Amino acid sequence: MVLYGAAAIPGRSSWVLGVIFAFVIVFIVMINGIHGCLRDLANDLNYGARTTAIFLGARPSGINGLILPLRFRLYALALQVLLIGIILIPLFYNWFGYPLMTWTITIGILLIFILLSLILLVVSAGSIDNRSRLNFLGMLHISISLSSLLVLFAAYLSSGVLELVLVIYLVPICSNKILWDRLTRRKISYVENSLFESVKGDNSNYSP
């Protein structure tokens, strides 16, 4: 989609394509290899899948808990550092040509988003005994991390394009089931609990 957008709008700087393309690659690796793998861990183990999380030693613990080895945590942190670098480098060198005031405001807001994403990642790693809370924090982490790309480009976009991007971006987030379930304090479904129960007795076969 990034490449299609670049081809459909000729004349854009190649660095714009490079920043978005690199961010999207690392971001998709993160949401699939970290958050998605943990969310579906019990089901993946039941069906013999070889996901990133399973390969790096992540395992269920009890009904709602998880075991996250150090190598898995370091992998998640490395992806987060990559995302931060992809965001900060073009802004640090001001590839956008932002005026000083715009550049200062953008980097200030962006640093807040980066700090929030790091905090959410750390807090998520500390919530392995509560899968519902882990999923909720993971979704917040995904949303904040993706928002940093929007913050980076906000002043670069025309007002019409920015409004369109905001609508396209906010509607799916506001309708996300994991966020609403957590905000309305719904319990983890019986099906999810049953999946964890089915592998709990076989944890010895999946030791990291």
Are 129 and 65 contacting, i.e. CB atoms less than 8 angstroms apart? yes
Phi and psi at 67, nearest 5°, equal: -110, 120
Categorize the per-residue pLDDT at 181 as very low, low, confident or very high, splitting at 50, 70 and 90: low
Q: pLDDT (tens digit, 9 = 90+) per residue, 116-159?
A: 999 999 998 888 888 778 888 888 899 899 999 999 999 988 88
Whether residue 90 contacts residue 46, with contact meaning beta carbons closer than 8 Å, is answered with no
**Which H/E stretch holds residue 61?**
strand 59-61
pLDDT digit string, tens, across residues 43-68: 888 888 888 988 998 888 877 788 88
- Contact in structure between 25 and 82 (CB atoms under 8 Å): no
pTM of the model: 0.76
Q: How many alpha carbons fall within 13 Å on the CB side of residue 103?
A: 13
Beta bridge partners of 149: none
Q: Residue 188: its pLDDT value, please?
A: 44
The length of the chain is 208
Q: Which residues contact 142 (CB under 8 A, 6 or more apart)?
A: 30, 31, 35
124 Cβ contact partners less than 8 Å away, ≥ 6 residues apart: 134, 137, 138, 141
Q: How many other C-beta atoms can be found within 10 angstroms of the C-beta atom of residue 93?
A: 9
Of the pLDDT bands very low, low, confident and very high (cuts 50, 70, 90), residue 187 is very low
pLDDT of res. 192: 45
The amino acid occupying position 34 is: I
**Domain locations in the chain?**
2-203
Residue 88 makes CB contacts below 8 A (sequence gap 6+) with: 110, 114
